[in-house]
Structure 1
Amino acid sequence: MKRWLRKAALATGISVLLLALVVGTAGWYWLERPMPLASASVELSIEPGTSPREIANNWVAAGVQASPFLLYELFRWSGDARRIRAGSYEIGSGTTPRQLLSKMVRGDVSQATVRLIEGWTFRQFRAELAKAESLKQTTAGMTDEEIMAALGEPGLPPEGRFYPDTYAYNKGSDDLAVLKRARRAMQTRLQAVWESRPPDTPLRSADDLLKLASIIEKETGLPSDRRKVAAVFINRLKISMPLQTDPTVIYGLGEKFDGNLRKVDLLTDTPFNTYTRNGLPPTPISMPGKASLLAAVNPADSNALYFVARGDGSSEFSDDLVAHNRAVNLYQRGGKPASN
């Protein structure tokens, strides 16, 4: 009887061991087997505070064709459940359960980019952010003033204060986070350029530099002309000559500008009309890039006070009004005499 019991116990032990081996082998096989997906890739945004069970269920709801129970058990028994990081994740075909967990623990989030272009206005910046991929629109209902307050700079006009560049961000991030980075980038670059200014510059502050750079950005059609354009405006500022630049007038017109700048617009006095007012406008008129910032403090060695577009993107520069009128007659009027 005892011998029989010993044999039965041994058989049971072997059976349990074999069962454990089978289960273990099946578990290992499942961990290393790519999970079927409902589409070529599956994305999931994990909010802070989401429980491991919810994360498992959400992956399945998003398109991972696996058992939510098994996913949850993996998270739980691995000991890494509490190390899963919030963020937006994307997986493709071939991803195993083990790789999925590792990705979330590393915080290997999926990213997108948004490009903010030199010469754009803040309004154009906001429009681009509004259509950026997987970027939360936290500023959608905010005024420009409210956005600047949220950035910690209440009362500061937003125009020109953000550096144009390509910004990568984690999917699921918010637009205010991108604006914060662009703001810091402009502050850093502006200060560095301002510190490199020559002693004889007529610019009185870094803010003046930003204003002039924004005009240079809008007035330059050819990169090789940028420092020459800067020289014209610097020369005019030195002799208190009006800047007389169309882009400032256009900016002052705002949404009223229909693409056609009329003589009456040039004669109507506004804070941004540099034909009727001397000096720089009250704020920048665009977001200048690095080249325009540098040109404002490092203009070409030139006595030019005038320039006119040649029609091919380049400009003709002149030292005096007589030469300028000849250039205007040649490039703008097709060689016809100017009417009095």
Structure 2
Amino acid sequence: MSMQTLSQLGWRPSYAQHLTLADFEAGYPARVTAVHRSGLSVLSSRGAGSVVLPHHLVDAPSTVAVGDWVLIEHEADRVIRLLERQSLIERVAAGGERRRQSIAANIDTLFIVTSCNDDFNLSRLERYLALACAAGVEPVVVFTKADLSNQASNYVTEAVGTLGEVTVLALNATDATAVAELAPWLEAGRTVAFVGSSGVGKSTLTNGLLGDTSRQTQAIREDDVRGRHTTTAREMFPTASGAWVIDTLGMRELRIGAVESGLGTVFDDIEALAAQCRFRDCHHEGDADCAVQRALADGALDHRRLANYRKLQREAAEAQRTLRE
């Protein structure tokens, strides 16, 4: 890969505000393009390289992620420290540990990918949206396989009606002209990431953006709509437009972290109703003068949406408790 300026790599002036003269005398900034067991692959104004990650960063609560900026020693291929992040997408790892798992850092747009088949799930989309909003990242919902379904417009209408002012697109991921619809979010120096269940077309979209047909993808099995993992590791790639794309693992199980602010954004209608309840500590389950229950009875609020809100609230509260501990 040819030499890149920091600006081309996605550097923002705000990052320098957290660096002192002593920092620049000790090291130089580089962006993480891949995370390995043995260290990191990075890009900087010096070019591509591999660096060692010190143990105190390996064991940090929020580990180094693809897209992060790090400070590298001038005289050694070793990370001095992790720089302040603009954004971080993370989840609670699968299993019993409830450990936070970093997915992608310093991204501008999160493409939430689903397909026009049985993968479509409003509750899962709300879950991803809460994740993006809590991180301060712009979400864009992308429906793939629109060419294989006569229900694509219905899926889009239902998503728009439920998710509010979030941008929703429907396209054929294998069509170059359709992929061009993502161009407004792919300006030079910007960074995007794709999330969604396995097999919905994240890698196909990435391949289309990169013009790289050598990165193998696997088709979704339409009989049971279960996808095989196509991507085996998170990695950051440059696109022809000068933007950067982070390809992520398929994540069918996405346990959210402490994202209360994201829930307030995604479910602002429910929180607005709750503010109208007679009692501040209303549980919305048989309490007197409950605005939420009235909205359910009138059909203004969907039972599924309220149930998902409560479920995500419980997950966020549990994540916050674990974080404190």
The structure carrying a bigger helix percent of its residues is 1
The TM-score, its normalising length taken from structure 1, stands at 0.27
The TM-score, its normalising length taken from structure 2, stands at 0.28
The structure carrying a bigger strand percent of its residues is 2
